[in-house]
Structure 1
Amino acid sequence: MSTIYNKMLSTKDKPILSIIIPAYNEEAYIAPTLAAAFAATRRYEGESEIIVVDNNSTDQTRAIATASGAKVIFEAKNQIARARNAGAQAARGQCLVFVDADTLLEGDILDKVATNMADGKVIGGGAWTEPDLAGGSAWLFKYGVNMLLALGNVTVGPFLYCDREAFLRVGGFDETLYAAEEFSLARRLKEEARKQQKQWRIIKFHPGHRIITSSRKFGRFGGLGMALSNAHLLWNTQRKLRNKDECGFWYAQRKPK
């Protein structure tokens, strides 16, 4: 049904999409992320732009992003929320799509976003996300973790989309937070959606549109360590999320593949 609906929409009817990629020392990952993003925009029949926010990188991230043809802006303070907000401020799209710098967009995911936004009933949402793993771990994450997140209508960081005007009304990402800023934004957008009688919609797994994110943190911290590190923050006080020293899981120096 959604494919048929997409074909019925003219290019003029499709929203302009701004893909915003915050990046701090991501020279090992940013090139394939951008290649996948540009491939997704070429498949999308509407207008789009790709914005990379260089979050004070000290490696070749900015040079790689500039050479790709993406619009590159600079945010001096090394904080994910500020980088994402800087990208949103520079964006011209009616719909903002936030993508992590180590995450690949595949298939017609942007058309799926556009279809959701075009019906006027959706304020934003996320998508099922797969790790670049093989075997049991990949299946557990793809179906077990994503199913639990979908049941709770929870959106995770690698991919989030929303209406630009609604994003501005709720104040964007909370710049007092150094982590979990996407949960805070999603909560406020869901509240805004209820006021407008709209929905927060998770795009579920389909072979025609996939979000594949790096499992590098498994390697650095181990699967158990990663889970404990996230739980330590997300199920504790907001004070810890406002202290960068407590959020080393997100701000540890990037290492090459």
Structure 2
Amino acid sequence: MWSFIVPAHDEAPLIGATLDALQAAARECGVAHECIVVDDASTDGTADIARAHGARVVPVAFRHIAATRNAGAAQATGTRLCFVDADTRVDARVLRAAIAALDAGAVGGGCAVELDGDVRWSLRVLTKALMQLFRWTRVTPGCFLYCTRDAFDAIGGFDTRWYAGEDVAFGRALARIGRMRILREAVHTSDRKLRTFGLVDHLRLMLRFALRGRRMLHSRDHLALWYDKRRH
């Protein structure tokens, strides 16, 4: 049994396609599954759309991605958990690879990422290079994370000290208790961060991180890339 957990805040434009893709992938792979959307203080039709697309909706008001993911896991009944961002489409190829990894004894992992939209070729090349670097350094991008239920419980879920970077901390925690697998197969995720925030915004974030280090991730302050409204 797979539990797909989708944290969501004002995701009405994209949540339907994400859920449809997940359910199609699960059917093609022949696995029992459930979809749980954790609706974190949405002000649009996210919850209604999620229900219309076959998901169970868990309402919360955290505006804290780690806590929101944990709330979904608390309601999940599956022995295998998969955390998927609301702007990310998963196909059967990716899910089949995740199934094979867990069947072979991995405790969990992540996968490669490709950006949807009209993205410049230079950014696509950079993204591919980053994905290879992530494989080498065992970094798990947060748009697709999978693990066994036992592994999730063993590490205590997502560390709620982090308002961003909780995905990397999660992957590091998994690696401490067992074999962690980063899949070569890629999910497709929206390029909306690039459309919403420009080069100056990204450079400003990098500068703050250089000055303050990881402690800046312990608060929503200055984390607009994750918590401000984005252009769809």
1:238 maps to which residue? 214
2:90 maps to which residue? 105
1:123 maps to which residue? 107
Partner SS state of residue 244, structure 1: coil
1:59 maps to which residue? 44
Which of 130, 134, 146 pairs up with 1:149? 134
Partner SS state of residue 212, structure 1: strand
Paired residues in the alignment total 231
Tell me if the contact between 1:20 and 1:99 (Cα under 8 Å) persists in the aligned partners.
yes
Stretches of structure 2 that go unaligned for 5 or more consecutive residues are none
Alignment pair present for 1:251 and 2:231? no
Stretches of structure 1 that go unaligned for 5 or more consecutive residues are 1-15, 194-198
- Aligned residue runs from structure 1 range 37-52, under 5 A: 37-52=22-37
Residue-by-residue CA offset, 1:128-176 (whole Å, 9 max, x unaligned): 1001145514541452121111111211111111111111111111112
Deviates more, 1:219-228 or 1:83-92: 219-228
Q: TM-score, normalised by structure 2?
A: 0.92
Deviates more, 1:131-140 or 1:93-102: 131-140
1:200 maps to which residue? 180
Q: Distance in 2 between matches of 1:139 and 1:237?
A: 27
Q: TM-score, normalised by structure 1?
A: 0.83
Tell me if the contact between 1:131 and 1:141 (Cα under 8 Å) persists in the aligned partners.
no
Tell me if the contact between 1:129 and 1:212 (Cα under 8 Å) persists in the aligned partners.
yes
Q: Distance in 2 between matches of 1:72 and 1:228?
A: 36
TM-fit CA distance, 1:239: 2.5
Tell me if the contact between 1:131 and 1:138 (Cα under 8 Å) persists in the aligned partners.
no
TM-fit CA distance, 1:225: 3.2
Alignment pair present for 1:189 and 2:169? no
Tell me if the contact between 2:29 and 2:92 (Cα under 8 Å) persists in the aligned partners.
no
2:201 maps to which residue? 225
1:212 maps to which residue? 188
Q: Distance in 2 between matches of 1:234 and 1:129?
A: 25
Tell me if the contact between 2:193 and 2:230 (Cα under 8 Å) persists in the aligned partners.
no
Give RMSD over aligned pairs.
1.9
Residues 218 and 164 (structure 1 numbering): CA distance in 2 closer, same or farther, change over 3 Å? same
Q: Distance in 1 between matches of 2:128 and 2:31?
A: 31
Letter in 1 for 2:180: W
